Structure 1
């Protein structure tokens, strides 16, 4: 199959497929007499595997490690478990950060309950105050948060 067919079958952009080839994640396909790439079922399977890993937000370096395990099926899978445990930890940290962001945005939103002129908008006042390094509804003043990080 041609690259456009592979892209269509997997939902992966053509440039991304070429990138994966350059990165060694996807083996280079054979070339037809006219120079076109000719992808096989193995390419489709590998690309689908990579796409699934990326949908789980697994970094490319870790996808590369997983691909190497596919090539060595008799190796112990302890490293695979560790890799997934690390990904779970990254996701948990991101969720914690997102919950904090949601709280900050909710605090900011509470500053302007009803629509009115921009000059009276509590949200804008808070954002401008923060830009000046002052405390706002969603953040401590710059000098306080810098001191608390030490």
Structure 2
């Protein structure tokens, strides 16, 4: 199938497919004489794999690693996949902790601000940001 049909079957844009191709995650099996990309059922399965991996948070590099393992499963061990997954989980947890810290800091600042219509000359949020290095 050509790129438009392929994109429609996946529910993505042709730009998305070109993006994955540019990053080495997808390669058309061939091109027509006029240069159109041609994709097969195997490409459809590969793109479903890529999109599912993306949906759970894997980066392009990680997806490429997983694809390499998936394509040549008998040459790899399950522990490799688990290692990649646990690394991603730990990174996500670290980001969650950071976002929670941001949320606490912003709540702290907002709770101390009157939020009135007066001049911001004595705004407690601006003052805190000017004077305090770490409000956590």
SS at match of 2:119: helix
- When the two chains are superposed, the root-mean-square deviation of aligned CA atoms in Å is 2.4
Distance 1:128 1:44, change over 3 A: farther
2:83 is matched with which residue? 82
Aligned length: 135
Kept in 2, the 8 Å contact 1:30–1:38? The answer is yes
1:18 is matched with which residue? 18
Which structure would you say has the larger RCO, counting Cα contacts within 8 Å and 6 or more residues apart?
A: 2
Q: Deviations over 1:6-62 (max 9, x none)?
A: 222223332231122232211223212332112111111111111111111111111
Kept in 2, the 8 Å contact 1:32–1:38? The answer is yes
Kept in 1, the 8 Å contact 2:113–2:125? The answer is no
Distance 1:47 1:3 in 2: 12
1:5 is matched with which residue? 5
Kept in 2, the 8 Å contact 1:2–1:37? The answer is yes
2:132 is matched with which residue? 135
- Using structure 2 for the length normalisation, give the TM-score: 0.83
- Using structure 1 for the length normalisation, give the TM-score: 0.77
Task: Note the residue ranges of structure 1 that are not aligned, 5 or more in a row.
Answer: 146-150
Kept in 1, the 8 Å contact 2:30–2:37? The answer is yes
1:45 is matched with which residue? 45
State the Cα distance separating 1:121 from its structure 2 match: 8.9
Q: Deviations over 1:39-90 (max 9, x none)?
A: 1111111111111111111111111111011121212121111000101100
1:102 paired with 2:99, answer no
SS at match of 1:25: coil
SS at match of 1:79: helix
2:125 is matched with which residue? 126
Task: Note the residue ranges of structure 2 that are not aligned, 5 or more in a row.
Answer: none
